[in-house]
Amino acid sequence: MKNFELLLISIALAMDAFSVSICKGLTMKHKFRRNSLVIALSFSLFQMIMPLIGYFLGSKLSKSLIDFNHIIAFILLFIIGFNMIKEAYHDEDVKPGLAISELIFLSFATSIDAMAVGITFSFFDVNLKLAIIMIGLAAFLFSIVGVNLGKVIGNKFEKKAQIIGGGVLILIGFKILLEHFL
């Protein structure tokens, strides 16, 4: 597999992290720089680990995980998106901080497809080290940009942006689910 193909794969894998980062940026009001860095690091770390897991897992287990990865991603994104929408309608002062459990769920949900890519890497002559670095770097950069973009949008539109962000997460979950069946 050529470097240009790895670059395209890296960018494609980073798109879910980018979209979710925008949604997280919508709700950020406190410790923005630290939280945006934590989000980007978490997304890139998961994006780097999951292809390795896919690459090294046995073919039987890998195939069974591929059969369910879309359902897992859909459920996680739906729950988090629904909670974002629900929190936007609460009158009480919700602290839209960075919950570690939510970050782990989001990082996992946006990197499940990277595990499937890792499985395909095992079928080709791939410089695995370079591929993992490119995937992680793309996820990090797209996540930083996404959080910053979300912050700008969130400052202008507040609760509406949070509702839209939750809806986008749910739509991404449905997209992942539908792509599997189409």
* 81-117 tens-digit pLDDT: 787 677 777 654 444 557 888 899 889 988 888 887 8
Q: Which tokens belong to 177?
A: 């689910």
Q: Which tokens belong to 80?
A: 């988090």
- Using only C-alpha atoms, the chain has a radius of gyration, in whole angstroms, of 16
Measured CA distances, 140 to 26, 95, 102, 181 (Å): 18, 25, 18, 29
Q: Which tokens belong to 9?
A: 């794969």
Report domain extents, the chain: 3-181
Q: What is the pTM of this model?
A: 0.73
Q: Indicate the pLDDT class of residue 61, thresholds 50, 70 and 90.
A: low
Reported as a single tens digit per residue, the pLDDT across 137-179 is 999 999 999 999 988 887 676 677 667 777 877 887 788 788 7
Q: Return d(Cα 95, Cα 149) in angstroms, integer.
A: 20
Phi first, then psi: what are they for 93, rounded to 5°? -75, 105
First to last CA, the chain: 26
pLDDT of residue 94: 43
